[in-house]
Every structure is written in C-alpha cells, then in structure tokens.
Chains A and B, each alone.
Chain A
Amino acid sequence: MYLKLSYEIRDKYLRKDMLPTIFCPGCGIGSVLQYTLRAIDELGWSKDEVVWVSGIGCSSRVPGFVDFDGLHTTHGRALAFATGIKMARPDLKVIAFMGDGDTAAIGGNHFIHAIRRNLDVTVILINNFTYGMTGGQVAPTTLKGLRGTTAPYGSFENPFDIAELAVAAGANYVARWTVFNYLQGINSIKKALQKKGFSLVEFLSPCPISFGRRNRMKTAPELIKWYNKITVPISKAKKMSPEELEGKIIIGEFVDRDRPSLDEEYEEYKKRAKKMMGWE
C-alpha cells in the first residue's frame, strides 16, 4: 500500500491557521487523527459530505483542526448533537471524535442510546485512561490500581470496557487497537466509515503528561511497552480463560454486522405511517 506523506495529508485536510495543535509531545491523538484523515483520503470522500462532531476534552479539540464542517459541543453530548444532524441530513457522514471520559462518563447515556438506535455515525474514541484536558483525574476507564490526581492511591473502582459496552448495546462495527497498530487502525476506520449504522474504533492512546507521569510511564515508549504487556489479540483471547484475561485488554475487531440504521428505520416508519393512515 502506498502511504501518502504526512505533510500531504496535513496540507489537504488541516486548517493551517489553527496549527500547531495543542497536543503534548508523545500524545497519541495526532496519530489517530492522521489515521482518520488517511482513511477518508483512501476512500476518496469529498470534504463537504463529512461533518465532525465532538464534546470537550483534548480528543474533542480535533474538529477545530480539520478543515471540514464541525460542531465542537459540550462535554459528553457529541452524539446527541450528531443525532439531530444525521436525522435531518441522512446523506451527510458524521464522525464523532471522542475522549473516554466524554464517552463513558458524562456522555455514557447518549453513547448507549445512540448505539441502541443504531445512529449512523463513526465514533473515533481516544482512550487514554484519564481526563487528559483537566489534568489527569481518574476516569471510568482507569484500570483498578492505576493512579490519577483524584485517585492518588490507585483507583478502587471497576473500569468500563467501552468496546464491549458498544457490542452489547448493539453497534454494527466495533474495533479496538492501540495507536501503534496503525495499519489495522486505518483499515478499521475505513470499514467503520463505510458501515451504515453505529461504528466505533477505539484507540488506546498515550497521554504521557496527564496519565503516564502519574503511573511511572513518563514517555510514550514506556506506554507502548505497557500496552504490549496488557493487550491480547482477540483471536488469542478466545482461547484464554477468564482468569488469564484478568487485567488484560483485548484488541482487534469485536463485531461486524449490518442491522438497519436509525435513518433507514425512520424512513420505513414514515412509509408505515402513510400506509396506516392513508395519507396521499
């Protein structure tokens, strides 16, 4: 596969007057953004058919950097805003760029309901196990025992597995990778973008500044090593016992199916109403 140079992608899709980005050295968000833009580029999508939405957080700043229509909204609510956009203009393709706190804490309810409805959006999720933007507080994804500014002695809560949550809620496509699985990542994003209905591509993404630093992993390479230690490919995981999987994070493609999406269902609903009521 021919990979375009990064600057080609940058010049084609980013807003020059917003650069440089705010991302810290070693942050994974920029890489995931690049994967997403490459996926769009490889699919040959035109910029005016895509709308980006986000909430609040480091990850959510992405729509401000890309030269597309974009709605940078309130913390956790991106998918609720996206519901309005997508219902009113089903022909537009909607990408939601979200953080783990945004998705699973404050926006958890919108997340599961958007999936339940099978809203036709692609969520690109930056899971850095923390609240990056606000300085590294414990998040609903923080693994037990890991530290955050608000869990100085290590988190005592059970974490959410967001990918599993999405599968259970009924998403059409769900995959999880680390930022370092770039080919798989780009491929998954391409699949997700083309998928009608709800799709999620989650990335374990290094946040050395707010998360790593507090957990003896000050740099991105240390975080990579840690990812290697805790992640298990889904094929291998299938052969492992629950005990062996304790503390591990599964990566790979979780689900790929084709249930009807919300906009398709709504069109059917209108047809049904017409028939029932004998309008026109």
Chain B
Amino acid sequence: MIIRGDEPEQIDLLKKLYPKGNYFMQGDEAIAYGAIFAGCRFYAGYPITPASEIAETMARELPKVRGYYIQMEDEIGSIAAIIGASWTGLKSMTATSGPGFSLMQENLGYAIMTETPIVVVDVQRSGPSTGQATKGAQGDFFQARWGTHGDHPIVAISPISVEDSFWETIRAFNISEKLRIPVVLLADGVIGHTREQIRIPDPEEVEIVYRKLPKNEEEAKYPFGDVDGSLIPPMPLFGHGYFTHVTGSTHKETGLRDVYTPEVHIKLVNRLHKKIEKHEKDIEKWEEYFTDDMEILVISWGVSARPSLGAVLKAREEGIKVGLFIPKTVHPFPGKKVKEFAKRVRAILVPEMNLGQLILEVQRYVNDDIILKGVNKIGGVPLTVEEILREIRGV
C-alpha cells in the first residue's frame, strides 16, 4: 500500500502519525488525509479560498510521509507539476476553487489525452468570477464535465460530508490509477469548511489501487495501446529505460505523434471514451433511500444531499412516499438509473446550490409526462431541510 514497494514501512508510519480513531476536522482536511491514505505523495497547488486548507494540510503532512509539496506560481503550473510527477510514478494531487479550476482546464485536457492519473480537487465556491469567494456553491457541475476543449471523457466525484470527503478522495485516486484518467473531486466550500467528527481507519482497512505497469519491454512499447483487452494501457514510468514519448497531440499506440491520419485520432479518442464505458461498474456509485415504493423522487448531490435526506425523512414521517437518489460519481452521470426511476414516479425534485445544473442531466433521461422541478438556491447559504420539505409537500 501507499508508495509501491514501501508498503509495510509506510503503514507503520501512518499508524504512528494518524492513529485510528475519531477526529474532529474540516472537509478540506479530510480530503488531504484521504489523499495521504490513498498514497498521494506529491502535491502542487496555489492558495485559494475555500481550498487553501488542503494545501496547508498537505504542506504540513507530506514531508512526514516522504512526500513532496510545492506551491507553484499559479494553477496552470500546479496541474502541470502534478502531471510531471505522475509520470515518475508518484500519486499526485492539486486542489483549487472556481477561478483556479478555470485556469487548469487546458492541462486537464492534456492529462486526459495522455492518460495521466491525477486527482484535481475543486472546492466549489460561489461564482461567476470571484463572486462570493468565501461561500460554497455547486456551480461547477458542467465545468467539471465540459471545461476542457474537445471530445473527452471525465470522471467527477462529489462527496456529501466530511467523512465522505476522506473516503471519496481515496476512491478518486483508485479510479484515476486504475483507469489512467484524471479524476475531479467536486467538493464545495460548505463541507470544505465544516468541522465534524470523522473516523480515521487503520491503513490496512483502506483498499488502494495502483496503476498497471508494463510487464515487459514489449508491453512498454505501447503506452497508449490496448495491450491486454482492458482498453487501459500499462503506464511506463520515466527513468526506467523505456524511452516513452508523451504528447497531448494525437498519437499512435507507441505514443508517437501522428496528427494527419484520421484513423489514428478516431481510434485513440474512441478508446479514451470506451475505457470509461467498459469499466463503468468500477466508477459508478450512489446512495439511495426509500426508492422501493416512492411516488416522488428527490435527486441531489454534494452538499445539498444532506438537507435532502433530512427533508425526505421528515416527509416520510408525514406519510409522503418520497425516495432519494444521491449520485456520488456525478460524471459519468448515472442516466440509466435515473431513467429506470423515472418510470416509477410522478415527480422528480432536484435540490442543488445553483440555478439548475445537475437537473439538466436528469432531464435527458426523463419523459415530459412527469413533473421535473429544481429546488435551487444561490447566495452562499446552503439549502435547508425546511426549504426542500416545502417543495416535496407541494409537488
């Protein structure tokens, strides 16, 4: 676990530094500790509210676990540095908020095209622009999906509490390593700055995935080829004598550039998409409550999921047949699941801290004959149980 090859030593180190038990911490800190338990040993970042606590925690903790921390000159440099570190084999992460996430988009695309495992945390804050810099929001749902240019797949995960932030960060790393794809952790400023109790586990309790390395010289010749039918190429690391060329330009399976042959581009970009589809089961994750007999469905995510659950519980007490669906992996969006649900309910409500983003994904899987309604709130204050309950009662 942790640094490949260094496992027993690292496990002892983690046990000594972070003995298992209950801790009281912020969502941002939970993300940082999750990263450390997932094996992240390289962090580059640039300060920004409400994500700075992640950088601060990493700066303090990484030197203790033989990791590397660097504060870069901007967010473009931050994501670039973690991609560079990832090609040497270190699990790497950066964290930012809206303005910085905007700056990262070009290199996020580079990581997708070069199949570089990295985790990019966006602690969403209220925008557009510098908006309400210190307030949380859920306005980057589509920026995470379509922020970088061109046809591309992406995986984005959104945690719903402080403890969840710890575990979902680990899951983000595991997916990223397994699929050789950047994973976006769509956190938010509300959870990021909320302090609550979380249980830190023994490192042995944490399942950790490492990227696949080439088994031999032959496999290493195809760092961007489907050598074993999984659609995920093994990743030859720098400094091992494989002479791997990595480029964001269209490349052949060998990694060498070929931007003129349409088939090369078609094959590459299709494989990037298909590898996500093929491994959908490893990526998807959601929570559902009372969906068996529901007549109304609430679909919510991230920070809005918790008041949604509160509202659903209260509504159930009042005898309203309402269920709740919380996608944790928000991209790719679990559309099939929503489609199934939509056949069994008369109304769907979508609470979120924006003017309606996830609801647009839901809409694609729902027929006109049912009620689909957003429960939206902006201004930096999270939705309350009461606000959502009122909508459930009224629908």
Contact = CB atoms under 8 A, between A and B. Distances in A.
Contacts of A88: 42, 68, 84-85, 88-90, 92
B117 to A, nearest CB: 13
Residue of A71, A88, A269 with highest tally of chain B CB at under 10 A: A88
Nearest to A50: B239
Contacts of B64: 273, 277, 279
B76 interface: yes
Nearest to B246: A71
B45 to A, nearest CB: 12
Interface in A57-102: 63-64, 67-74, 77, 80-89, 91-92
Interface in B15-72: 42, 44, 63-64, 68, 70, 72
Interface residues of B toward A: which range? 35 or more
Contacts of B107: 73-74, 77
Instruction: Specify the main secondary structure of chain B where it touches its partner.
Output: mixed
Contacts of B165: none
A266 interface: yes
Contacts of A277: 64
Interface string A18-30: 1000000000000
A83 B238 contact: no
B249 interface: yes
Given A74-B107, A80-B72, A85-B87, A273 B63 contact: yes
Contact of A83 (B81, B89, B257): B81
Interface of B: 42, 44, 63-64, 68, 70, 72-74, 76-78, 80-90, 92, 106-107, 110, 238-249, 256-257
Contacts of A85: 84-85, 87-88, 238
A74 B248 contact: yes
A113 B80 CA distance: 14
Contact of B76 (A51, A77, A86): A77
A17 interface: yes
Nearest to B249: A72
A81 B81 contact: yes
Given A69-B243, A81-B84, 10 more contacts: A18-B256, A18-B257, A71-B246, A73-B80, A77-B77, A84-B80, A84-B84, A85-B85, A86-B84, A109-B74
A218 interface: no
A81 B78 CA distance: 9
Residue of B73, B85, B89, B90 with highest tally of chain A CB at under 10 A: B73
Contacts of A64: 245, 247, 256-257
A63 B243 CA distance: 11
A92 B247 contact: no
Nearest to B41: A88
A68 B243 contact: yes
A67 B110 CA distance: 22
Contacts of B87: 71, 84-85
Contacts of A86: 84
Given A18-B256, A69-B242, A73-B110, A266 B80 contact: no
Nearest to A266: B68
Contacts of B80: 73-74, 77, 80-81, 83-84, 110
Contacts of B92: 84, 88
A270 B67 CA distance: 10
A99 B92 CA distance: 28
B248 to A, nearest CB: 6
15 contacts: A53-B84, A64-B256, A68-B243, A69-B242, A71-B246, A72-B248, A72-B249, A81-B83, A81-B84, A83-B70, A84-B81, A87-B68, A88-B88, A92-B238, A109-B77
A114 to B, nearest CB: 9
Given A80-B80, A84-B86, A88-B85, A63 B245 contact: yes
Contacts of A110: 73, 76-77, 80
A73 B247 CA distance: 6
A243 interface: no
Nearest to B254: A17
A110 B76 CA distance: 9
Nearest to B74: A109
Interface in A7-23: 15, 17-18
Given A74-B80, A109-B73, A110-B73, A84 B239 contact: no
Contacts of A92: 88, 238-239
Contacts of B44: 83-84
A84 B106 CA distance: 17
Contact of A87 (B83, B85, B240): B85
A41 B199 CA distance: 56
Contacts of B76: 77, 80, 110
Residue of B83, B107, B240, B242 with highest tally of chain A CB at under 10 A: B83
A83 B68 CA distance: 11
A48 interface: yes
Contact of A80 (B77, B239, B248): B77
Interface in A99-127: 109-110, 113
Contacts of A80: 72-73, 76-78, 80-81, 84
A178 B391 CA distance: 73
A214 interface: no
Contacts of B82: 84
A274 B370 CA distance: 62
